[in-house]
Structure 1
C-alpha cells in the first residue's frame, strides 16, 4: 500500500478533512486536519481514524499507524510554532 492509497481511503470515508500521509508498505503516519475534531477527546479522534481504516487493519494491509489530529486552528498554531 502506498501513501496515496491511504489518503484516498480516508478522503472517501471521512469528509471535510485534510490528510497528510507518510510511510510505505504497511506502516504509515497519518496527520488529519479538520473541524470534525473540534470538541472531541484525543481518544475519540484516534478512534475515528482507526474506524475508517478498520478493514485494511483487519486484513493486514495496514499494520502500524501513527495518528496526529488537529482542528484547523490547532494546525495553524503548530505551523506557526514550527516557523518560529
Structure 2
C-alpha cells in the first residue's frame, strides 16, 4: 500500500478538511482534520479513522497507524 492509497481510503470513509498521510509501507502517520470529530474525545476520533480502514487494519495491510485527529478549529489554532 502507498500513502496515496491509504489517504484515498481514509478520505472515502470520512469527510476531511485536511488529510496528510506518510509512512514506509507498514508504519504510517496521519494528520486528519474533520468536523466529524467535534465533541469527541481522542479515542473516538481514532476509532472513526480506523473504521475507514475496515479489514485492512486486521489483515495487517496497515501494520501501525499513528493518528493526529483535529477539528477544523483545533487545526486552525495549531497552525498559528
TM-score, normalised via structure 1 length:
0.87
8 Å CA contact 1:11, 1:17 repeated in 2: no
Matching residue of 1:10: 10
Distance 1:51 1:71 in 2: 18
Counterpart of 1:38 in structure 2 is 38
Distance across 2 between alignment mates of 1:78 and 1:17: 14
Aligned-residue RMSD, C-alpha: 1.1
Q: CA deviation at 1:79?
A: 0.8
Runs of 4+ in 1 over 2 A off after TM superposition: 15-18
Larger radius of gyration: 1
Question: Which protein has the bigger helix share?
Answer: 1
Cα distance in 1 between the residues matched to 2:79 and 2:17: 17
Structure 2 matches for 1:1-84, cutoff 5 A? 1-80=1-80
Matched positions, count: 80
**TM-score normalized by structure 2?**
0.91
